[in-house]
Structure 1
């Protein structure tokens, strides 16, 4: 297993993006248009991979978190561009079974938990209808770390699934986001759906276990603007 990404790298990334957002804010402040709102946001992830594989007995959502920075850059009084930089963890809980499962994959039957951690950059177009906003757009994400654990029914603690880790999953993910939220003064609250368009697993064991599944994530968030 590779070690999780460096906290220093993540801190530098956040500082760089904060500087970029601050620069955008300053530039808009010099114009006649209102400057963009920048802020921090975070919340809950409910993710699933929707594995379509004959040995799958059950799938359930994995709970995770996301947090990061956002900005709303006005285009006019009703439309704004909303770029974000987020740390987000996704995955799924999949129960495998069948008499041939262990022979084919070398893994005991039981629940396997996929844990995938990304830096995600969504860029949405937001339409403002009073305090309500609806937004949609593409996202690009980079896989920071991954681990997969096998929870067997006869055990109380998980074991690592063979040698599966970050290198067994595609580093780049991309897809679409769509959501709605409310802006109440400096507070932003809402929900969003992330629809992945890139296969999560590479060829080999990871690809066979996930069967070309893609990320599907529901996010509920709370943000504070400046």
Structure 2
């Protein structure tokens, strides 16, 4: 819970600090919503990709004519499927706080990179025998690095793509090789 509050505090302070910077630069802060498809997995020999959803809110805060900071607050459905038994799924649901630095190559097209702080809200394995809670085996916090791009078509509507590679081990008390999340996201965004 402390990490969730810390992540939210970082996102809110980034938004308020950047709003002041944007006022100084007379560039407007834009708020928006985004949603789309996650294709996620973990780096385990018996894991394969699983589809999920993401969605949430963002603030796009210009800090220069071509640069902006975009803190986000997202629901992120991640996890993996078992390679041998595709009906066995690891469902890891997070509240994620990415803080992306964006560079506008063109006014409509940007590239981005930055950290993502994720706080687990659900950790379960689902299979033919039912659903089991595995929160004692998977950590409640995940840290990743994201790299992406987006294109705004018209009137604030755009398409986005991002890859987030997990940096931290998601297994509690793991003495073997680190198990990390990875997720590819593709979706739509709308700036108000």
Query: So what's the TM-score if we normalise by structure 2?
Result: 0.82
Q: 1:93 aligns with which of 81, 101, 105?
A: 81
Q: In the alignment, what sits opposite 1:104?
A: none
Distance in 2 (alpha carbons) for counterparts of 1:36 and 1:116: 32
Q: In the alignment, what sits opposite 2:58?
A: 70
Please tell me the root mean square deviation across aligned C-alpha atoms, in Å. Answer: 2.9
Where do 5+ consecutive residues of structure 1 fail to align?
1-13, 97-108, 151-156
Q: In the alignment, what sits opposite 2:185?
A: 219
CA 1:80–1:39: 2 relative to 1, 3 Å: same
Shift of 1:168: 2.1
Shift of 1:167: 2.8
CA 1:92–1:66: 2 relative to 1, 3 Å: same
Distance in 1 (alpha carbons) for counterparts of 2:150 and 2:60: 13
Distance in 2 (alpha carbons) for counterparts of 1:128 and 1:121: 21
Q: In the alignment, what sits opposite 1:169?
A: 138
Where do 5+ consecutive residues of structure 2 fail to align?
1-7
Q: How many residues align?
A: 182
Q: In the alignment, what sits opposite 1:202?
A: 172
Query: So what's the TM-score if we normalise by structure 1?
Result: 0.70
The structure whose Rg is larger is 1
Q: 2:122 aligns with which of 145, 153, 156?
A: 145
Pair 1:135 & 2:118 matched: no
